[in-house]
Chain A
Amino acid sequence: MIEVKGLTYRYPGTEKTALRDVSFTVSRGEIFGFLGPSGVGKSTLQKVMIGILKDYAGSVKVEGQELRETGAEYLEKIGVAFETPYFYHKFTALENLRFFSSLYRNKTLSPVDLLKQVGLSDAVHQRVSSFSKGMKTRLNVCRAFLHDPELVFLDEPTSGLDPVSTEAVKKLILEKKAEGKTILLTTHHMAIAEELCDRVALIVDGKIALIDAPRVMKLKYGRKMVRVEYRDGDRLLAREFPLSGLAQNDAFLRLLSHDGLETIHTQETTLERIFIAVTGRKLA
């Protein structure tokens, strides 16, 4: 669905190149994540793909169409939730969504149903000025899906959400993926990226350092070991065993029947550790 080749971008009047030779593809129905700390080019990449920045070098094609040649018809097909949820504060949630519905030619989804899906059914007629940050974030996600777009850009869609709301938003995103929507997620929340994304791209200094499925990355960069923690009297002890041949490992098998056994964990790594290993930078 998306094909990016050699994308380079520099903001007019600046020396620094915001994006350098970025290449990747995204398939239809995929949730693709962009991971990286602030200021590495994630937002610029999103702006290029949304079609706001068109003076880029290289090629960015969505369904075979070069983005710099697209017009308002492209905007009919995409949904965008910026990190900051901007709304008419004097309008209610429903009034805001109805207003945005009016901007699209295609039939839009029911705003009330969408609000219900993210747990905002009690706030349908509440003015946005009285919304908490989390409520605005959920409303923002609703707006991105409102016109039933094929391609959706979500920037930190769970920012400021409590665990229950986070689950509701994640469920909505996964439902949309099941419907065949393609979703591009920008985040620095490891857990969200791991749970939702089919593949993630690690971005640093305007370049993609690594692209792969979170699971594959974790296996590739993790240690194929299992760590067992157990208690011997007052002392907490730990031992590690290679995963291969674990069933025949006598020491491991003996520990399994040890009375003081407390935890057993495989030693695949986290996305955060992979990011640091690959880029030498921290995510936060």
Chain B
Amino acid sequence: MTRWLYLILGDVRRLRHDWVLLMSFASPLFLLIFVWVVLPWMEWGVQHVFHFSIRPHLDFIMSFLALVTPMTIGMLAGFLLLDDRDEGMLLVLAVTPMTKRGYLVYRLVLPVLLGFFFTGAFILLANLVQFDSARLLPSLLMLSLEAPLATLFLGAWAQNKVEGLAISKLMGLSFFGPVAVCFLPPQWQWAAWWLPTYWASAAFLSGLPAGQHFFVAHGMGFVIHGLWMWVAYRMFIRRVE
């Protein structure tokens, strides 16, 4: 645990020197400001200009916004991972008692914990949707798995931080997941099944009072996340060995 503490302190010290990464860490706060300040204005504006209420779509909006925090934290960890890999720190840590595996556990588990905590806090404080706490917990866990997935995707496919930036932009496509869950016709839903974010959103929505297929969404979601994580992990390991 002391090692983790020092690694966290090390990460904090590095983030202190990188404003872009530091700002992305504050994304839950920006989301809350959006929900508390911007969304009510949007609702009022859309209602008055287009005579359209966004209130029935708050579930969708929330399933969309809930993905932002874990994905941002995951990308942040991914950039730190790229830094460590490019600076040769993975090799150096591999010959300390931390070991390469220990370092990766830290780099992947901490984003899950942070994603779980911050996403949970965001959902609670945003207070946009009604939820049952017991049903929210597994959904939160799945949402927070987006974080290590984003970290591993960056580590596995980016050669350097510049490529990492490009890949992080491409990863924005994964926000198609909640759109697919809410707006694709039922006969076309399968086309988005391969997307982890599809299942994360489906799982989140299934846990809400009007939700359906709770166990299917969670079961399938964890399997898809596990598969993607295994593929990305194998690719990352191949890249660093």
Contact = CB atoms under 8 A, between A and B. Distances in A.
Bind each other: yes
Interface of A: 50-52, 72-73, 75-76, 78, 80, 82, 84, 86-91, 95, 99-100, 102-105
A52 B88 contact: no
Interface string B73-101: 00000000000000111011111111100
Interface of B: 2-3, 5-6, 10, 13-14, 17, 87-89, 91-99, 102
B22 to A, nearest CB: 13
Contacts, number: 55
A88 B96 CA distance: 15
Contacts of B17: 90
Nearest to B16: A90
A269 to B, nearest CB: 36
Given A102-B3, A103-B3, A103-B6, A52 B94 contact: yes
Q: Chain A: interface secondary structure?
A: loop
B96 A103 contact: yes
A80 B88 contact: no
A100 B3 CA distance: 9
A87 B94 CA distance: 13
13 contacts: A72-B97, A72-B98, A73-B97, A75-B95, A82-B88, A82-B91, A82-B92, A87-B89, A88-B89, A91-B10, A95-B13, A102-B6, A103-B6
A100 to B, nearest CB: 7
Given A75-B97, A82-B92, A91-B10, 10 more contacts: A72-B97, A72-B98, A75-B95, A86-B92, A88-B10, A91-B13, A100-B96, A103-B93, A103-B97, A104-B97
A86 B91 CA distance: 9
B10 A75 contact: no
B6 A87 contact: no
Contacts of B89: 86-88
Contacts of A91: 10, 13
Contacts of B10: 88, 91, 99
A104 B96 CA distance: 8
Contacts of A72: 97-99, 102
A143 to B, nearest CB: 8
A223 B99 CA distance: 50
